[in-house]
């Protein structure tokens, strides 16, 4: 697989690899394979921050190797093959196998399989969190009657704080018989805030329900 990239010791080679990894976790997709180890061995050292996708991928491979083979050197041996060497190393004879050769794709123990699965889940969760979208929501907040203190009603609304929630502009809108409702904007991080939960668990229960009779979603737009 490494042969599909040009010289990975050059800026052009790393630029090619960086673009290739722009939408991939690993060389062959979402799973660590022998292809990653071959390319990792060809890169040989951590790239600069100029190539963020390569840096992310390189650190993931390095972490996998360090976690599975603590205290070992970075020489990598694919199962049944000699270690992949840098271009300036002799390739006339395959080196003898020793404890410093890392057979990444040999038989795995149950603990190693479990640790690998946890790392995969952590990478996917991290990617999902980074890609989390935002939404702009307009709420109608209705008081009990025309005697409800609307200033305190708005204070009760804005007093609700949680990660991913930002209150915005507001105004009072007449609904008839001297009653006004509060219209208020908010911006939410979709993965962190559920509008339904916000209404049911915060806006329409004590102490906010002393002023708030009900809440309705007027508009919900992805940002």
pLDDT tens-digit profile of 37-70?
888 887 767 777 788 888 888 888 887 777 666 6
**Would you say the C-alpha torsion 17, 18, 20, 26 has a positive or negative sign?**
positive
Cis peptide before 110 (omega within 30 of 0): no
Give me the pLDDT at residue 121, please: 78
Q: How far apart are the C-alpha atoms of 66 and 61, rounded to whole Å? A: 9
d(CA 145, CA 148): 6
pLDDT higher than threshold 50 for residue 99: no
Greater confidence, 59 or 107?
Answer: 59
Q: Are 132 and 189 in contact (CB under 8 A)?
A: yes
Distance CA 69, CA 71 (A): 6
Q: What percent of the chain has pLDDT over 70?
A: 72
Phi-psi region of 98 (alpha: psi -120 to 50; beta: other; left: phi over 0): beta
Domain 134-222 in this protein, CATH class: alpha beta
Residue 191 in this model has a pLDDT that exceeds 70: yes
Mean pLDDT computed over 133-144: 95
pLDDT band at 179 (very low <50, low <70, confident <90, very high): very high
SS (H, E, C) the chain: CHHHCCCCCCHHHHHHHHHHHHHCCECCECCCCHHHHHHHHHHCCCCCCCCHHHHHHHHHHHHHHHHHCCCCCCCEECCCCCCCCCCCCCCCCCCCCCCCCEECCCCCCHHHHHHHHHHHHHHHHHHHHHCCCEEEEEEEEEECCCCCCHHHHHHHHHCCCCCCEEEEEEEEEEEECCEEEEEEEEEEECCCCCHHHHHHHHHCCCCHHHCEEEEEEEEEEEC
Least confident piece of the model among 102-116, 139-153, 167-181, 187-201: 102-116
CA–CA distance, 41 with 114 (Å, rounded to integer): 25
Please give the residue that has the higher pLDDT: either 148 or 61: 148
Inter-residue contact 104 to 65 (CB < 8 Å): yes
Mean pLDDT computed over every residue of the chain: 78
Report which of residues 86 and 157 the model is more confident about: 157
Q: Indicate the domain borders of the chain.
A: 2-130, 134-222
Backbone angles phi, psi at 150, to 5 degrees: -70, -25
Sign for the pseudo-dihedral over CA of 8, 14, 17, 23: positive
């Amino acid at each position: 697989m490494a042969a599909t990239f040009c010289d990975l010791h050059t800026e052009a080679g790393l630029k090619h690899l960086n673009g290739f990894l722009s939408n991939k976790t690993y060389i062959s997709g979402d799973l660590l394979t022998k292809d990653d180890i071959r390319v990792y061995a060809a890169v040989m050292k951590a790239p600069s921050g100029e190539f963020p996708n390569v840096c992310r991928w390189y650190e993931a491979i390095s972490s996998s190797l360090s976690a599975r083979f603590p205290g070992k050197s970075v020489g990598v041996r694919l199962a049944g093959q000699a270690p992949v060497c840098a271009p300036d190393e002799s390739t006339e004879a395959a080196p003898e196998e020793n404890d410093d050769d890392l057979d990444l794709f040999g038989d795995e123990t149950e603990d190693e399989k479990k640790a690998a699965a946890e790392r995969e889940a952590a990478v996917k969760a991290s990617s999902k969190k980074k890609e989390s979208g935002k939404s702009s929501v307009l709420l109608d907040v209705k008081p009990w009657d025309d005697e409800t203190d609307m200033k305190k009603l708005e204070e009760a609304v804005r007093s609700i704080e949680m990660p991913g929630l930002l209150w915005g502009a507001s105004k009072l809108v007449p609904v008839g018989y001297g009653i006004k409702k509060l219209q208020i904007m908010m911006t939410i991080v979709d993965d962190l805030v559920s509008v339904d939960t916000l209404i049911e668990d915060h806006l329409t229960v004590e102490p906010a329900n002393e002023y708030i009779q009900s809440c309705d979603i007027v508009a919900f737009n992805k940002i």
